[in-house]
Each structure stands twice: as C-alpha cells, then as structure tokens.
Structure 1
Amino acid sequence: MAEEKTNVMRVLDQKKVPYTPHHYAHPDGAVDGASVAALIDRDPAAVCKTLVTQGASKKYYVFVIPVLKELDLKAAAKAVGEKSIEMIKQAQLLPLTGYVHGGCSPVGMKKQFPTVLDQGVEGLDAITVSAGKIGAQVELAPAALAGLVRGSFAPVSK
C-alpha cells in the first residue's frame, strides 16, 4: 500500500534531494529512537532525532543527533556561538516548527533555524531523520541534509 507523502518528502522531491522513505507502525503514538531504528531495521547510530533549543540570546537552534546520544548543551552552545542553550518546552514545539513531538524534522519547519548536525554522522553514507510525522522517516546522505537546511557539522552529542 502506498503511504502518503509528507511535507518533508515533498520538499526533498522539489529540491531534487534523493531519499528513501521508511514507514513504521506506531500503535501507541511516539516511540523512542531505539525502537524506531529497530522498526525500520537501521543502525541506531545512523537514526537521528531533531532537537529544538533556544539560546541565551532567545534565538532558536536545531540539532540533529543520533537517537541513542544526548545533546551536549555546552558543546551545542559553543557550536552556535551562544553563552548557553536549553531545550524548548514541548508545548512550544508545534507552534514554533509545525511539528509534533516525535515527528519533528529538520526539513520543512515553519521557519529555517540555524541547524547543526552531530559531527559523528558526517562520515556516514546515510542517516535517517523524521519525515515530519510519527511513523515516517526519510533516509538520506548527511551532506545532502546539511546542504538543504544550510546546516553545519560540529561535535554536539555525548
């Protein structure tokens, strides 16, 4: 059965960025990243979560890191030239990005925020990120994703 295209997939198609879509069942809503990796049969080191943060300057930043790692807030602040950063509250996510918790993608947010991908994924052939809704992921080259979101690579996870 053909799955519907998400906004993320439409953006990738429009920008001619090659990707592989993955869909998984999620009867209980959002699932953790390790489960997503298992459901789509991918190495968790190459399955990434999208984290939205706010700096001391009140600017917003997006970080893409492997699902089994944590965002290193000090390293992340340094990567974007902020004194400090913190995760935004879950209630802010949908109004700010247009995405729900568990379905947040670095592609196609309401506004393009500075985006940093964890340096550990830079050398991988492909990484998987949310396709913008729970139950859908897109697999693409890290450099292609960074190019699309005007992102950079930095060591931001621990």
Structure 2
Amino acid sequence: MPKERDHKTNAMRVLDATGTPYEARFFECPEALSGTEVASLLGLDQDRVFKTLVTQGKSGEHYVFMIPVACELDLKKAAAAVGEKAVAMVKSRDLLPLTGYVHGGCSPIAMLKQFPTVIDETADLYERIAFSGGRIGCQVEMAPGDLGRVIEPLSRADLTVV
C-alpha cells in the first residue's frame, strides 16, 4: 500500500506548508474525465466543482481562470477581468511545460509560475469548492476564501457564458 506522502501533490504540499485546511479526494481514473463526470463520480454539486483554465492574453501574458465545470468561459469577460483586449485558451500540448500540470489534472495551486488568477464570483456562494488537486484522479475541497491565502493575486469576476 502506498504511503500517504506518495499521494501528496505539489498543490497539497503548498496547502500543508501554509496551514490551509483542505480535504483531498482521490478516485480511480484511467484518463482525464470531464468536470461534470468528476462531480458526478464524487457525488458533488457540479456548481461547486471548478475547472482550471489557462489562457494567454494578446499581450503574451498568461492568466488562470476558475469556473464551474458545467459552464463555459466567456473569453470577452475573461479578457476584461484581466485588462486584456483578448485572451485565448492555451493548447493542451503547451499546458505541461507552462504549468507543470497535464490537461485534466491542472490545479491553480503550485504551477511552475503563479499566474494572475480569477475565480468565477459564484465560488463565494459555497462554503467549500472543489478543484483539481494537481493530478488526474485527485480533487481538493476547501473554502474559497482560503484559496486567496495561497494564490496571489486571486480576484473574482463574472466569467461564464449566460
């Protein structure tokens, strides 16, 4: 049986180091699932399970957006939230060298470089939200307010397509 430290991701190590309370939830998953599939598998309300999306602005800067898994990122709202003329999604093949994470296991915590991060304002409706813990088959649940203790800057905005 693997030791607990074998299950720790870099994101969890950062949370431990900062004393930030969280709960890690592991599940068997041979390949990346959609966020709604993960929410269903874990018995969570899909409105409080967030996906982590990495974008590049027209300026060349990178940004991270967190939105509910059943929603679609509104690129115009996202660009406005970070003061860019436009943002575009980073291609899956570019995710690992940029963030240190693979598609389906991308956490907003402990990326290779901390990019400005914006979370959809609906996160504040919940005591706890879930998001990738830093590998496929791992979700972290924590209070959205605590996320700002480990991700700076962390701002909030309306980011989803209506």
Q: TM-score, normalised by structure 1?
A: 0.96
Counterpart position of 1:8: 11
Counterpart position of 1:123: 125
What is the CA deviation profile of residues 132-158 of structure 1, one whole-angstrom value per residue up to 9, with x for unaligned ones? 000001000111113321201100112
Counterpart position of 2:81: 79
Alpha-carbon distance in 1 for matches of 2:99, 2:80: 23
What's the CA shift for 1:24?
1.0
Alpha-carbon distance in 2 for matches of 1:44, 1:123: 13
1:110 to 104, 109, 112: 112
Counterpart position of 1:156: 159
Instruction: Describe how 1:1-158 pairs up with structure 2 within 5 A.
Output: 4-27=7-30, 29-150=31-152, 151-158=154-161
- Unmatched 5+ stretches in structure 2: none
Higher helix share: 2
C-alpha contact 1:7 1:108 (8 A) present in aligned 2: yes
Stretches (4+) displaced over 3 A: none
Alpha-carbon distance in 2 for matches of 1:32, 1:146: 25
C-alpha contact 1:117 1:146 (8 A) present in aligned 2: no
Alpha-carbon distance in 1 for matches of 2:124, 2:86: 24
Helix, strand or coil: the match of 1:12?
helix
- Matched pairs, number: 157
Helix, strand or coil: the match of 1:138?
strand
Helix, strand or coil: the match of 1:54?
strand
- Unmatched 5+ stretches in structure 1: none
Q: TM-score, normalised by structure 2?
A: 0.94
C-alpha contact 1:23 1:40 (8 A) present in aligned 2: no
Alpha-carbon distance in 2 for matches of 1:89, 1:79: 21
Matched-pair identity in %: 53
Alpha-carbon distance in 2 for matches of 1:100, 1:54: 17
Alpha-carbon distance in 2 for matches of 1:140, 1:157: 21
Q: CA RMSD in A?
A: 1.1
C-alpha contact 1:53 1:60 (8 A) present in aligned 2: yes
Letter matched to residue 7 of structure 1: N
What is the CA deviation profile of residues 97-130 of structure 1, one whole-angstrom value per residue up to 9, with x for unaligned ones? 0000000000000000000000111221011010
Alpha-carbon distance in 1 for matches of 2:125, 2:40: 22
